[in-house]
Amino acid sequence: MTMLSKATYGFHNLENIAEGETIIHRLNPLTKTITTFLYVVIVVSFDRYSISGLLPFVFYPVVFMSLGEIPLKPLLSRLAIALPFCIFAGVANIIFDQDTMLTLMGFNISFGLVSLVSITLKAGLTVMAVLILIATTKMPAISRQLIRLKVPTIFVLLISMIYRYISVALEETINMYIAYSLRSPHNKGIKIKDMGSFVGQLLLRSFDRGERVYFAMKCRGFSGDYKYVPTPKPPALELIYIISFAAAAIILRIVNVSDLIGGII
């Protein structure tokens, strides 16, 4: 139950943030998708014992989150979802990779510990990158770009319609759930014997709703196409932005800035 309402809240919250009008919001969605993907690939490409090389990449989320006025709270709840399995893999490394990597102030630091920190850092950075993309881009803009990239219409329609109907489905589920728990108190979750009729009923309603939605769409001239106002191509300036972003990311991948700064001092 809490999960359902949390999801509804998080969903609306993100939509509100995406309505913003900052410099990051105004970037073309395609530009943002390309840079996000680049960033994720480069962060993940670091080997599993690097930490200091990854640290300069913290600049991206910090700068973009302040420029895009993205609050920190949704980020933390998203991290909570992504982290457990990463930590599971990382903790395993502590157990199975105990060779000492270096000794610092009398403490032996193992390869495993270093790799746990590295995985956690990577998880944090990649989750932040996707959050920045989605918190500054509206869904219809993403769909239009997908069409432009020649993704099949039916798939784009599906993504944008599922997105539209998630809040409806969540609301309906919450209503039924409240009704169920009022009639069977002291029960966490739904009894498995009621699962068939509960979920089945919801599914049948969804099917009927889907048909009604179709009739309504048909009345407005739906023929299986995705109709939209064409978006302008990303301006040349944004191409320069993409190239400099890529160059910066690649340089930071090759040059360990943290070591350099430390070396100077």
Partner 1 sequence: MHMADALLSPPIGVVMAAVTIGAIAYSVNRIKKDDSFDEKKIPVMAVSGAFIFAAQMINFTIPGTGASGHIGGGILLAALLGPFPALLTMAAVLIIQCLFFADGGLLALGANIFNMGIIVSFISYPLIFKPIVSKGLNPKRITLAAIVAVIIGLQLGAFSVVLETMASNITELPFNIFVLLMQPIHLAIGLAEGVATAAVLCFIYSMRPEIMEGALSNKSIGPKSIKKVLIALGIFTILLGAIFSLLASSFPDGLEWAIRNITGSGEIEKAGNAYNVFDKIQELFAFMPDYSLKSNPEEGTSLAGIIGGTLTLVLAGGTGVLINIMKKRKVAKK
Residues numbered 6 to 45 that lie near partner 1 (CB under 8 A) are: 7, 10-11, 14, 36-37, 40-41, 43-45
Q: How far is CA 222 from CA 58, 158, 189, 228, in A?
A: 46, 14, 40, 12
For residues 159-178, which are near partner 1 according to CB under 8 A? 159, 161-166, 168-170, 172-173, 177
Quick one: which of 179, 219, 229, 254 contacts partner 1 (CB under 8 A)? 254
- What does the DSSP 8-state code read for residue 55? G
Q: Among residues 205 and 233, whose Cβ is nearest to partner 1?
A: 205
CA–CA dist 187, 178 (Å, integer) = 12
Quick one: which of 16, 58, 149, 248 contacts partner 1 (CB under 8 A)? 58
Q: Does 256 bind partner 1 (CB under 8 A)?
A: yes
Cβ at position 19, least distance to partner 1 in Å: 15
Over the Cα atoms of the chain, what is R_g?
Answer: 23
Q: Among residues 53 and 234, whose Cβ is nearest to partner 1?
A: 53
Which candidate, 152, 153, 181, places its Cα nearest to that of 5?
181
Q: Does 82 bind partner 1 (CB under 8 A)?
A: yes
**Phi and psi (nearest 5°) for 100?**
-75, 130
For residues 128-157, which are near partner 1 according to CB under 8 A? 129-131, 133-134, 152, 154-155, 157
Count residues near partner 1 (CB under 8 A).
Answer: 123
Cβ at position 50, least distance to partner 1 in Å: 5
Bridge partners for 103 per DSSP: 108
Bridge partners for 109 per DSSP: 102
Q: Does 78 bind partner 1 (CB under 8 A)?
A: yes
Cβ at position 236, least distance to partner 1 in Å: 26
**Between vectors from CA 170 to CA 169 and to CA 176, what angle results, nearest 5°?**
90
Cβ at position 182, least distance to partner 1 in Å: 16
Which candidate, 135, 130, 114, places its Cα nearest to that of 41?
130
Type of residue at 74: P
Site mask for partner 1 (CB under 8 A), range 183-222, x = bound: ----xxxxxxx-xxxxxxxxxx-xx-xxx-xx--x----x
Identify the three-state secondary structure at position 231. coil
Quick one: which of 149, 178, 243, 255 contacts partner 1 (CB under 8 A)? 255
Cβ at position 159, least distance to partner 1 in Å: 4
Q: Does 247 bind partner 1 (CB under 8 A)?
A: no
Q: Does 239 bind partner 1 (CB under 8 A)?
A: no
Q: Does 246 bind partner 1 (CB under 8 A)?
A: no
CA–CA dist 26, 64 (Å, integer) = 13
Kindly give, in sequence order, each residue whose CB lies less than 8 Å from that of residue 64, ignoring residues fewer than 6 positions away: 24, 70, 132
Q: Does 181 bind partner 1 (CB under 8 A)?
A: no
Q: How far is CA 15 from CA 8, 12, 78, in A?
A: 11, 5, 15
